[in-house]
Structure 1
Amino acid sequence: MATVAERMGLDPERLWGLGVAAILVALVGGSLAFPRVVYDGFIWHYFWGPVQADANSAVCAVRANGVTQYLDTASACAAAAEPVAYPGYTLVSEVGYMVTLVIALSGVVFLLRRLDIGESPRFFYALFPFMLFGGAFRVVEDANDAPGVADALITYPLNTLVISPVIYVTVFAITLVAVVGSVLAERRGLVDDYVKPLFGAGLAVLAVTLGYLLWAGLTGAQGATFYPQVLVVILVGATLAAAATWWLVERFAPEINEGTGYIGLVVIWGHAIDGVANVVGLNWMVALGAGNNLVPKHPVNQAVVDFTASTLPESVLAVTGDAWPFLLVKLVAATAVVWVFDEQIFEDSPRYAILLLIAVLAVGLGPGSRDMLRATFGV
């Protein structure tokens, strides 16, 4: 059966470009023709408004007559007329970001094909530091806007570049520069393997970011503190959870990881970081002597906490907390995704398979490392 591109007489890259252009024309044209409905009611309400509210440390942002206002109390937000945007994500925005991610991944596949890279697991491992960097970079903004911080390191609107989801674009741009620069260095004979400078660039930006956070935590700058016990508990807990999951897979269902090999273990570990960081951050900060417990920022996290709290008796919740099912969800989901990537997928399209696994790891390890470091540095 002929593909859509073949029936239209277009190559896949051009068809992708036309599709992206059509979406942009629809959003921009709709915003100009129907600003209150398309821009205020959709784009701003679900995507840009939450970023503005977060960047300005507001409880919510309100859009009225083309003007954005920032409110500082929950009661004022509840009384405001829609559209009202709160920091964080909504189900609508998360679906929108997933669609955007799929479109972006397709474009990246075309780019990697042009560069003739990305088919080896070495590419996956080379990008691992950048995923940790993304989470750490986001914590810089958390410290920047922490309560009581008088002189912010980054002010609005520049701080929007390090707020989710815009930070994904920022980190992607930095990573893209590193990838292209490393490939050019190899082809010009400056290095013998592009993977080495690519991995080194990731380590460099990660080290600089962690160095700043450690300095802030040790000196109290930007309202940060340093709770090493939190970091140790999360890393040890996630590693044990991932190891136990991997042992169960190897022992009872080895076919799950036949396609991915140790990449699957890294994916599970990355999502275990996200799960354990949420359990510790939401339930055990006080018990660890690390300040107040955090609050969930994602609808899925909140839904899990609400379901657990409404299902289990208070006597049980006092012992277990209400966030632990999120860790189970993350482990099961990550294992299921690893199972999807069988040997056939790698044989048919190894570049796309590697890229998808990078994305799968990033959506777990990015938020997970952010939550882990946010709890570690008390911001």
Structure 2
Amino acid sequence: MQQYIDRFGAERIWAATVVVVFGGLALLAALFPQQVYVEFIWEYFWGPVVADANGWNCVAWAGGEVQSCDVAGSGAGPTASPGYTVTSYAGYIPTLLLLLTGFIFVIDRLDIERYRAGFWGLFPFMLFGGALRAVEDANVKVAEATGDAALSLPWQALLISPFTYVVVAVIALVSLVIAVWLERTGVIPGYEYGLAGIGTSLLAVTLVILWQWAAIGGVGFFPLITVTTLVVASTLTALVWFTIQRFAPELNEGTRYMGVLIIWAHAIDGVANVIGLDWAQAFGLPWDLTPKHPVNAAVQRYTGQLLPESITGVIGDVWPFLLLKVAAAVFIIWVFNEEVFEESPRFTIMLMLTVVAVGLGPGTRDMLRATFGV
């Protein structure tokens, strides 16, 4: 492989890979529309987005008319539900790695040296991504309440996972270029300050939009959900972090204090899921949330099957998901040891940012959509 990289260049090989993969998929979809587009692309990738955008639990292909399963009835072809499946994960993960590789080429050309500073500067963008996703939830509720939404497909898809990750990543990359330029022209002392400032501003604007739309289509405002999520997740993070520092400090040699953010991000996701899926009504919401991912759906299902109702009725059936998230976070900071950072600092930081984003993004979204009643 190295000989091809030396001969053609890594960037050209990456570009050729993108063209071959997605061009080949488009060609196959054109040649075999039913098998490739309808039964693969639509059923596992676009259909769930359509269902989510319309607030449907299930969408049917219905000969291309695309209807709610309740309307289409049986025999309407492939169906899809909001959220992810094992098949969609198998498609999204390689796509994500391709995207990360492309971003690394851009960062390479920017000639950035202080990568850890960039990690902290990008933190507000992870919160921004979750808030942006909650705005789409509010958009659906506005449509249900008024019959007219501010955004509709295909533009609405930009706010729905996984497309929203790409949108936020592109915005963050553009912001990074601007911040580096501001630093090198002497406007700011470090690019991380400009980066954090842009991300925080975007987050603030997004929260204002969420507030306004939730006032139209939401069922109320429940700030105690956010307070409880932040307090419980932060307390749990502190306990886990100090336990690691006391009994296994070698785990933190690579990530250092970035490990705190990794644990906290996934604790937020875990706590938000526990509250949203098991205790939302206890906080005043008229309904509990439903799981959007196969992992937390499986945890809820198997916990309910393994434990008697007398126990799950008291403590709920989603709490193992929180333990699983925290354990996964600890494993991740152990994997990202000092040697990994020394061998490939750019790619390692990008992977760490992705790890935080896939925890804090969904966690922030679940916390905010419950808080704003959308």
> Is the aligned partner of 1:120 residue 2:115?
yes
Q: 2:347 aligns with which of 337, 352, 356?
A: 352
Distance 1:185 1:358, change over 3 A: same
Deviations 1:248-286 (A, max 9, x none): 211221111111001011011000000000000011112
**Which residue number corresponds to residue 28 of structure 1?**
26
Q: CA deviation at 1:306?
A: 0.4
* AA aligned opposite 2:257: Y
**Alpha-carbon distance in structure 2 between the residues aligned to 1:29 and 1:39:** 10
> Is the aligned partner of 1:270 residue 2:265?
yes
Q: CA deviation at 1:81?
A: 4.2
Q: 2:10 aligns with which of 9, 12, 15?
A: 12
State the percentage of identical aligned residues: 48
Q: CA deviation at 1:186?
A: 2.8
> Is the aligned partner of 1:169 residue 2:173?
no
Q: 1:329 aligns with which of 309, 318, 324?
A: 324
Deviations 1:41-75 (A, max 9, x none): 1111111111112212333222254x1411152x8
Q: CA deviation at 1:107?
A: 1.3
Q: What pairs with 1:52-201 in structure 2 (closer than 5 Å)?
A: 52-65=50-63, 67-71=64-68, 73=70, 76=72, 79-117=74-112, 119-146=114-141, 147-201=144-198
**Alpha-carbon distance in structure 1 between the residues aligned to 2:113 and 2:127:** 20
Q: CA deviation at 1:170?
A: 1.6
**Alpha-carbon distance in structure 1 between the residues aligned to 2:75 and 2:262:** 42
Q: Are 1:133 and 1:209, in contact at CA under 8 Å, matched by a contact in 2? A: yes
Q: Secondary structure at the match of 1:52?
A: helix
Q: Are 1:281 and 1:372, in contact at CA under 8 Å, matched by a contact in 2? A: yes
* AA aligned opposite 1:267: I
Deviations 1:288-334 (A, max 9, x none): 22332111111111100001000001111111100000000100011
Q: Secondary structure at the match of 1:287?
A: helix
Q: Secondary structure at the match of 2:61?
A: strand
Unaligned runs of 5+ in 1: none
Q: Are 1:88 and 1:297, in contact at CA under 8 Å, matched by a contact in 2? A: yes
**Alpha-carbon distance in structure 2 between the residues aligned to 1:96 and 1:149:** 36
Q: Secondary structure at the match of 2:281?
A: coil
Q: Secondary structure at the match of 2:145?
A: coil
Bigger shift: residues 305-314 or 103-112: 103-112
Deviations 1:146-181 (A, max 9, x none): 243433222233211111111112212221221122
**Alpha-carbon distance in structure 2 between the residues aligned to 1:150 and 1:355:** 41
Q: Are 1:112 and 1:118, in contact at CA under 8 Å, matched by a contact in 2? A: no
**Alpha-carbon distance in structure 2 between the residues aligned to 1:43 and 1:199:** 36
* AA aligned opposite 1:312: L
* AA aligned opposite 1:322: D
Bigger shift: residues 84-93 or 272-281: 84-93
**Which residue number corresponds to residue 49 of structure 1?**
47
Q: CA deviation at 1:119?
A: 4.4
Q: TM-score, normalised by structure 2?
A: 0.94
Q: 1:246 aligns with which of 236, 241, 248?
A: 241
Q: 2:369 aligns with which of 371, 374, 378?
A: 374
Q: 2:298 aligns with which of 298, 303, 306?
A: 303
Q: TM-score, normalised by structure 1?
A: 0.93
Q: What pairs with 1:275-294 in structure 2 (closer than 5 Å)?
A: 275-294=270-289
* AA aligned opposite 1:341: F
Q: Are 2:61 and 2:67, in contact at CA under 8 Å, matched by a contact in 1? A: no
Deviations 1:58-108 (A, max 9, x none): 33222254x1411152x856x234321212111111221111111111111
**Alpha-carbon distance in structure 1 between the residues aligned to 2:240 and 2:53:** 38
- Please give the root-mean-square deviation of Cα atoms over the aligned residues, in Å: 1.8
* AA aligned opposite 1:3: Q
* AA aligned opposite 1:250: Q
Q: Secondary structure at the match of 2:282?
A: coil
* AA aligned opposite 2:127: L
Q: Secondary structure at the match of 1:148?
A: helix
Bigger shift: residues 325-334 or 170-179: 170-179
Q: Secondary structure at the match of 2:8?
A: coil
Q: Are 1:119 and 1:354, in contact at CA under 8 Å, matched by a contact in 2? A: no
**Alpha-carbon distance in structure 1 between the residues aligned to 2:113 and 2:107:** 6
**Which residue number corresponds to residue 206 of structure 2?**
209
**Alpha-carbon distance in structure 2 between the residues aligned to 1:215 and 1:14:** 46
Q: Secondary structure at the match of 2:366?
A: helix
> Is the aligned partner of 1:364 residue 2:359?
yes
* AA aligned opposite 1:22: V
Q: Are 2:121 and 2:195, in contact at CA under 8 Å, matched by a contact in 1? A: yes
**Alpha-carbon distance in structure 2 between the residues aligned to 1:60 and 1:264:** 38
Deviations 1:355-378 (A, max 9, x none): 110000000000000001011111
* AA aligned opposite 2:308: P
Q: CA deviation at 1:21?
A: 1.2
**Alpha-carbon distance in structure 2 between the residues aligned to 1:266 and 1:201:** 20
Unaligned runs of 5+ in 2: none
Considering fraction of residues, name the structure with more helix.
Answer: 2
